[in-house]
Amino acid sequence: MIDAPIIIGGRPVACKSSFDVIDPATGAAFARCPSADEDALNDAVAAARAALPAWAVTPIEQRAAMLEAIADAIDARKDEFAALLSREQGKPRHGGAAGEIGGSIAWTRATAKLRPEIDVLKDDGASRVEVRRKPLGVVASITPWNFPVMIAVWHVMPALLSGNTVVIKPSSNTPLTTLLLVQVANAILPPGVLNSVTGEGGMGRLISAHPGIDKIVFTGSTPTGRSIMENAAANLKRLTLELGGNDAAIVLPDADIDKIASRIFAKSFGNSGQICAALKRLYVHDDVHDALVERLVGMAQAAKVGPGDDPETQFGPLQNRTQLDFVTQLAEDARANGGIFACGGTPMEGGGFFYPLTIVTNVGNGTRVVDEEQFGPILPVIRFTDVEQALAWANDNENGLGGSVWSVDVERATALAMRLESGTAWVNDHSTISPDVPFGGAKQSGLGVEFGTYGLDEYMQLQTVRINRE
């Protein structure tokens, strides 16, 4: 039995009920997770609020040192984290799972080095005007199932560094590694600074409406983000919402296919396509369309899809049955509307939630597989002849998380990329992020940004200080 209690006020708390955690490689339950109720949430918020005054005035260097210590503690148990992550999320243990844990460690260390700015707007003999940054209060983090450790780190570490206290609720599909992270951190942090709650349904609504929570940071679907925003209005909670993405890439006719094919493949199918900023719509000029599709198909057919505990596995299953069914529906709709499957296109036989790496052509805007975020290993490739038309198609979507342009002419590609309606635009790359560079969505892909000092500001209240010397 996996020991993964919720932590409130620095102590494990027993819950009255629990729920199954499913191994996506088998489709069968392998653990039980405690299920918190509204009373537990109230206790967690109360614990966070009680811990807030002392934590908020703890010098930032001390808070940063604790983040470094948390990174050390994760590192000491990285193999345990990776094994558990692979089991509940599905990604290969020695590939994506180990990479996520290593990335979480590095991101925690990078966050620990950030410092909020003090802006001096005026300083003369008569007066001084400063803009300072103070913690917001109690922050609630609601995390998704695609990167349950990394995204928890993205939410929690800047909140803690900024002097806030936190209540985190992981996805009920992948709660265990997040709960383990909270356990590890609580061996270092003062009681009540970081608390955890769980729940299969309704807990997110309780969190978003809770009057004792000052800010919510959420990564997940756009419909859920809208619901959080509506429920959070009662006490004007601050929000950071990183929501759905349906990122477009435009490959220009002069692109070097030999150079970019493997990069496009990796940026499309990483984590079996279950990445918010993955490349999800590939617009390719007619001059290079067939050559690029041929290269991508060859790599997809050579890839090893399998369970995360197999050392040869490169791509794991979809994380849950609902997502597998959704990807299957998109493929069926594409087929019914004339889509041609260059490879893949039907679920794999056997147990678990496996779907092959799939490339579909002869589709375009107006087809579900292009218009909707797949969040799975299915890539539509859309042929174009007019670059302006391709740009219009790329922008014709309610999402605007990221986008990219691929060309040997970097200046031309950059000019086109800047016309993409997206929070991030890449040139000859896609979905690359780093802890010192802001990341967030345009249009329906979210509010606010994460990472770096821009992201740190999202966890802090600006306070103008005007000092009269006369």
Cα–Cα distance measured from residue 242 to residue 447, given in angstroms and rounded to the nearest whole number: 7
**242: annotated active-site residue:** yes
Q: Number of C-alpha atoms within 13 angstroms, CB side, residue 136?
A: 24
Cα 272 to Cα 50, 82, 419: the distances in Å are 42, 17, 29
Burial 84-113 (b: 16+ CB within 10 A, else e): bbbbbbbbbbbbbbbbbbbbbbebbbbbbe
Cα–Cα distance measured from residue 103 to residue 456, given in angstroms and rounded to the nearest whole number: 19
From 15, 33, 100, 242, the catalytic residue? 242
**343: annotated active-site residue:** no
Q: Taking the chain, what is the end-to-end CA distance rounded to the nearest angstrom?
A: 69
From 15, 33, 88, 276, the catalytic residue? 276
In Å, how far from its chain's centre is CA 160?
19
Residues with catalytic function: 242, 276
